[in-house]
Structure formats: structure tokens, C-alpha cells
Chain A
Amino acid sequence: MSNDNLVEIEDVVFGYGARPVLKGINLTARRGQVIAIMGSSGCGKTTLLRLIGGQVRARQGTVRVAGASVGELDAAGLYRLRRKMGMLFQFGALFTDISVFDNVAFQLREHTDLPEDTIRDLVLMKLHAVGLRGAAQLMPAELSGGMARRVALARAIALDPMLVMYDEPFAGLDPISLGVTGNLIRRLTDTLGLTSLVVTHDVQESLKIVDYVYFVSEGVIVAEGTAAEIRASGLPYVHQFVHGEADGPVPFHYPAPSYADDLRLGGVRA
């Protein structure tokens, strides 16, 4: 494998209890790219991020980040690796009891011995990058959803990580915030030399900014390609997803016994 790949996932199998979630996933992320992982809700996209972050361990297969196998690291090694990762949670997951400034400064204070002056400069730089330098003294409760997402982004890049993961960064945003967040992900990836891994089901917005897309369904990768390839794809699943059709390969109905049987019509039907 070339050294260009920051994240390499090979044949990963994972499940919660008896319920299988991932059934053999292969995925690579090249350095400097924005990769999107798409799929319908509950298909295991977030689990994939948790595997990369080492919060859960794969049952089979390997997850390698920057050459290190995440599943085999001990607690100390995992924490060292996580310092080089940033993660943006679905609703920001800002610490609600401290200000925006302190949120962004959190990792700097936890992991470095920098003097408070330097921390202040760094925090304001990160906040400036997401356009919220003026909001430094606000509390998270005073922010709108889009602003909270941007603050969380500033916090995720506080230690200049090599990899940033985004869990549904577009969920619940108005069109303006949506565009702002999308552009920000692209711009930060390019200017800071990051690799971005975006888990989303917002096809239109993400296709504008990503380099490569993986489609996950039922625990396996069903399609992959560049944004243009995906738009032009003739695969029924991808077509349904990109165009938002109600029924198709992804069924409208949750798996159930036959409707007739459920309504006790079995005898009549015979």
C-alpha cells in the first residue's frame, strides 16, 4: 500500500451484540482529500468513524490510521493517536458549561504546556478561521446550530490534526449555514493539509465539495467513485439515493412478515 493513504480499512466486520452492522468494509482515504461516506440512516456510518477513532474495536479486519493498527493499540497509544485526529460530532457536542473560547482552548490546555498568551492567540486564530472570532466569549447555549457546528470545527482543528472526521455535519442546518459549513470543510482541508472524512446523507451538498464518495448499505460498500462518477452512476441504489426516491433497492418497508399474514388473512389467501 502506498504511503499516501492516511486511513486504510480492510475487511472490517463489526456488530453490536447479535446485530451485525458492518459486514466486510474496505475503504481508503488519501492524504489531503475530502472523502464522503454516504448511506441511509442507521447503516453503520457513524460506527465506521468510531472504529477509526478507536472507541470500538472491529471483530475482524484491520483499521489502520497513519500506519498504526487502531485495534491493536493500548490505551496510551490510542490517546497519542487521537491527538492527531479531530472529530466533529453531529450536534457539535460542545462543552455546555464553558465558553466558546474555553471550548476551543480545551485540548491546548489539556495536552500542551503553552503559556496562556499563546493559547489565546491560537484559539483566536482557529475561531477566526471559522469566522467566529467575535463569539469567543459567548456560551454554547447562545449559539445557533450552524455556529455551534463551526465552533466545534474550530475545536476539532485546535491541535492541527492530520485527520478530521465529521459526523453528519449538515444535519439540521439552514441552506446558508449548509453552504458555509461545506465550504469551510473544503477550505480547511486544502489550507491546513488535512484529510477529511465526512459521514453524511446530504448528497447534493457533499457532492459539491468531496473528492471521493463511498456508499454504504446493509454493512457493505455498494458503490464508490468521484463526485462526477456518482452523479452519472447508473446503479439503482445510488440513483435512488442521489435523487431521493421513496422506494427502490432501499425498501420503504422495514423487513416484516408478509402483510397478509400479519393481518391474519393467511387462510383466506389460500
Chain B
Amino acid sequence: MLKQTIENLGHSTLQSVWRIGFAARFFVVMLLHSGTAFRRFGLTIREMYFTGVLSLVIILVSGLFVGMVLGLQGYETLQTYGSEEALGILVALSLVRELGPVVAALLFASRAGSAITAEIGLMKATEQLSAMEMMAVDPIARVVAPRFWAGVISMPLLAALFSAMGIFGGYLVGVQLIGVDEGAFWSQMKSAVDFDQDILNGVIKSVVFGVAITTIALFEGYDAPPTAEGVSGATTRTVVTSSLAVLALDFVLTAFMFRGLN
């Protein structure tokens, strides 16, 4: 019984190490075959439509609401200390540093990541990738790499839109609805938010998240067993794995970036 349990543990450990190895090799091959994605940028633009433009609505609406909630909650807390003017700082810093990149990435993983996995998985299951190979077209270069770069380019833009929309939401609630002084809201925000430390780091985070999510999504799709259960399982794994990866990476990045600051 105990032996069986240990054997199972060993088996699943080996299995996951294999998969990580395969994923790493997949990542390298994908980078090496990225030439086409840039030489024929139309392919990447096409994918940016599916990953970026189609994620816009959910990103903008969520950003607005998250910002509005931050405005409300932040005001409640700040007014206890008589520093409502700091609302702008609270909203902007939370969004730019953390919520913007992270929440946008989580939404991106479930909106675009799952779609990528399902699409690649189905292309594999219906032998479209095999057919492409037989037509002397490398599916990694033609199908996978453009999707990867589209995701990596779209992610920081989506995160920036999320943050901007959120700050607007915070402004709507804080200034227009509750009546925090507009000048104080913007000037305090401007003096506290630093371009390098806060905004640039947020952008770097979202690029890293973009790389992680699209790699996971593409690998899961490419690796999916060519059956209905295989593709659906892979889609689920994409959302779960990439969400966890985003949160874990966020912790690591935050620890490095904001070490030594307050």
C-alpha cells in the first residue's frame, strides 16, 4: 500500500519533469522558428485580432469595475484617517503595480489562452497540423510562433488599458460621485507614482505574464491528445496552470522589483 503510493508519487513526478522538459524544448523551438512571425507580420496581426482585440471588451469592462470598487473601498478606509486626497495614490498604485498586470493576465488566460489551446488542439486532432507538415510548411513557424508573439505584444497593451480604465473608474467614483477634490486626486497620484519604479515595472510584469500564458496555452494545445477529452482537458489545464503561473510569477517579480522600496 505504502509502496504503491510512493511508486505513484515517483511516477507522477517523473511525468511532470518530462512534461516540463518538453515544454522547455517547445519554447526554444518556438523562439528559433519565430522568423516567419516577423517576416510575414500579417500572420501575427491576424492573431492579435483574436487574442487582443477580442479580449478588449472584457478587459475594459473589468478594469472599469475594479477601479470603481477600489475607489469606493479605498475612500471608506482612507477617510477614517482623514486622508481622502490619497485616494488617487491608492487607486493608481494598486492598479499600475499589481491589479492591472495580474487581473488583466488572469482574464487573458481564460479568454485568449483557452481559445488558443482549443484551436491548436483541434487543428492537431483534425490532422490540420500534420497536413501542413506534409505541405512542407512548418506548423511551429506558421501557426504557433505568430500566436506567441501576438500574445506577447497584446498582453502589455491590454494591461495598460486595464489600468487606465481602472484609474478612470476610481476617478468617476472618487471625484465625480463622492466628491474628493479633483486637483488633489490627480496631483497626489502624479507625485507618488514613479514612471520607472511603478509603471515600467508593471509593463515588464505584463510582458512576462504574456510570455508565460501564451507558452502554456500553445504547449497544452500542441501536446493535447487528439480526442475530444484530450482537447477539453488541455483547455482546462491551460486556464489552471497559467493562472497559477501568473500568481507565482507575480510574487517572484514583485519580490525582485520592489525590494528596498517601502
Residues of A within 8 A of B132 (CB): 95
Residues of B within 8 A of A82 (CB): 133-136
Bound-state Cα–Cα, A91 to B136, Å: 19
Nearest CB on B from A52, distance (A): 10
Interface size class of A (residues with CB under 8 A): 20 to 34
Residues of B within 8 A of A91 (CB): 126-127
Contact: A110 with B134, CB < 8 Å?
no
Q: Which residue of B lies closest to A165 (CB)?
A: B134
Is A233 interfacial (CB 8 A cutoff)? no
B124-149 near A? 1/0 per residue, CB < 8 Å: 00111011111111100010000000
Residues of B within 8 A of A87 (CB): 131, 134-135
Contact: A83 with B136, CB < 8 Å?
yes
Nearest CB on A from B127, distance (A): 4
Bound-state Cα–Cα, A29 to B179, Å: 84
Residues of B within 8 A of A80 (CB): 136
Bound-state Cα–Cα, A258 to B239, Å: 47
Is A106 interfacial (CB 8 A cutoff)? yes
Bound-state Cα–Cα, A237 to B134, Å: 33
Is A169 interfacial (CB 8 A cutoff)? no
Instruction: Determine chain A's interface SS by DSSP, over half rule.
Output: mixed
Is A63 interfacial (CB 8 A cutoff)? no
Bound-state Cα–Cα, A55 to B136, Å: 11
Is A228 interfacial (CB 8 A cutoff)? no
Residues of A within 8 A of B128 (CB): 93-96
Bound-state Cα–Cα, A82 to B138, Å: 11
Residues of B within 8 A of A83 (CB): 135-136
Instruction: Determine chain B's interface SS by DSSP, over half rule.
Output: helix
**Chain A CB within 10 Å, residue with most, of B128, B131, B135:** B135
Bound-state Cα–Cα, A79 to B137, Å: 8
**Chain B CB within 10 Å, residue with most, of A53, A91, A94, A110:** A110
Nearest CB on A from B225, distance (A): 14
Residues of B within 8 A of A152 (CB): 131
Contact: B137 with A93, CB < 8 Å?
no
Chain A residues numbered 110-149 whose CB sits less than 8 Å from any CB in chain B:
110-111
Contact: B131 with A89, CB < 8 Å?
yes
Bound-state Cα–Cα, A90 to B142, Å: 22
A67-80 near B? 1/0 per residue, CB < 8 Å: 00000000000011
Residue from the list A55, A85, A86, A107 in contact with B137, Cβ < 8 A: A107
Q: Which residue of A lies closest to B143 (CB)?
A: A95
Residues of A within 8 A of B122 (CB): 96
Contact: B127 with A89, CB < 8 Å?
yes
Contact: A89 with B135, CB < 8 Å?
no
Bound-state Cα–Cα, A90 to B128, Å: 11
Q: Which residue of A lies closest to B137 (CB)?
A: A110
Chain A interface (Cβ within 8 Å of chain B)? 53, 55, 79-80, 82-83, 85-87, 89-91, 93-96, 106-107, 110-111, 152, 155
What are 28 A-B pairs at a CB distance below 8 A?
A53-B134, A55-B134, A80-B136, A82-B134, A82-B135, A83-B135, A83-B136, A86-B134, A87-B134, A87-B135, A89-B127, A89-B131, A91-B126, A91-B127, A93-B126, A93-B127, A93-B128, A95-B123, A95-B132, A96-B128, A106-B137, A107-B135, A107-B136, A107-B137, A110-B136, A110-B137, A110-B142, A111-B136
